[in-house]
Each structure stands twice: as C-alpha cells, then as structure tokens.
Structure 1
Amino acid sequence: MSDITREQVEHLAGLARIALTPDEIDTMTRELGQIVDNVAKVAEVATADVPATSHPIPLQNVFRPDVVGETLTAEQALSGAPDHDGSRFKVSAILGEEQ
C-alpha cells in the first residue's frame, strides 16, 4: 500500500478548495493510494526496450490556412464588459489572496 496519508488528502483538498467530509477523505485516501500503487506497478514493467507511447494510434494534425479576418475594435470588445478603463478590462485583484 502506498504512503498516501489522510493529512495529505486534507491538505490537497484545501489547496484545491474542495470541501470533503471525513468519509470522503477516507475514501479519497484509499483510492489515491490504489492509484499510486497501480502507477508503481506499471513503472516496474516499463523497460528501456519498450518505447514510450502517448497514443496507441498515430495522429496527424489537420491544419488550415491562417487567414486574416475581421477583428473587433477595442471599443467593440469592451462594449459588453462589466467594467473597463477605456482600453482594458478591469477585474478585481486576486494577488495576495489567502489559501
């Protein structure tokens, strides 16, 4: 069993601002422990002779030409904003917000 603790789950929930009940914390502790254990099992079988694969089927990007079209003026873009200073959107500050 992995070393995921109840305190770690509580800490992560706090960082993510997710309110968990004591039962949910117990469940998440157990489930996260199982996930970590399963990842460790996969890491054991991953060897240097097996190439890393991000997707089992080769993918190809589909590109389209980059064509300049109509764009909004600053006035048009700001017309629906709740608050602006004439050239930029104004939003409330979030810097320094407590966790």
Structure 2
Amino acid sequence: MVSKEEVKQTAEMCKLKLSQEETDIFIAMFSNVLEQVEKLNTVDTDGVEALNFLNLKEKSLREDIVEDSLNREEVLKNAPEQEYGYFKLLRVMD
C-alpha cells in the first residue's frame, strides 16, 4: 500500500497541490497499480523468449520544419521558479 506521505512527496515534486480527497484517490490508484504489477511477478515465464522489438516496419518520419517559437519571457511567466532565464527544477539525482 502506498502511504499518504509518499503521495504528498510525489505531488510536491510534480508541483501539484492535492486536496485530502484527491490524496485519498491517488493512494487507492497507486496501490491498485502496485497490486497489478505484483500479479505480473507471479506469471511463469520459463521458456518464453524475450521480445526485443515490436515493429519491423520502416518508420516514416516527417521532415523538420523550422517555425516560430514562443517568447522566453512569456513561457517563463508561468514557471513556479526560474533562474538565469531558464526553468529551475528540483535536483532528482546526486
């Protein structure tokens, strides 16, 4: 089961403000996902060859087209934190 503290910590890292009701909903949803993943651990995969790729078809890519981009100041005005003209993010790795 996922704890209330884990949901709050995850929401804080994602810059989300959750109500108590939303926190309870996320606890139930995350716990359900973890239960489903745990069920996958019980599947017998002995003798099953690993799947390395899903599609052998040639991928068609569109040609890159240079277009106008958004103004930096306008983009950053919605950022919760910014520094040196860029988004400031939480450090996720040491």
Could you tell me the TM-score, scaled by structure 1's length?
0.56
Please give the root-mean-square deviation of Cα atoms over the aligned residues, in Å: 3.6
CA contact 2:13–2:90 (8 Å) conserved in 1: no
Deviations 1:67-97 (A, max 9, x none): xxxx87xxxx8x87747xxxxxxx81335x5
Tell me how far apart the structure 1 counterparts of residues 26 and 70 of structure 2 sit (CA, whole Å).
40
Q: Give the Cα separation in 2 of the matches to 1:11 and 1:92.
A: 27
Structure 1 stretches of 5 or more lacking a match? Answer: 65-70, 84-90
Percent identical among aligned pairs is 16
Once the two structures are superposed, what CA deviation does each residue of 1:32-68 show, in whole Å capped at 9, x if it has no partner?
Answer: 111101101111114232234477xx5123156xxxx
Match of 1:93 among 79, 86, 92: 86
Equivalences, count: 78
Aligned partner of 1:60 in structure 2 is 56
Match of 2:36 in 1: 38
SS in 1 for 2:7: helix
Between structures 1 and 2, the one with greater strand share: 2
Query: Equivalents in 2 of 1:37, 1:80: separation in Å?
Result: 43
1:80, 1:6 → 2: CA distance?
A: 40
Shift in CA distance, 53/28, structure 1 to aligned 2, threshold 3 Å: farther
Aligned twin of 2:18: 20
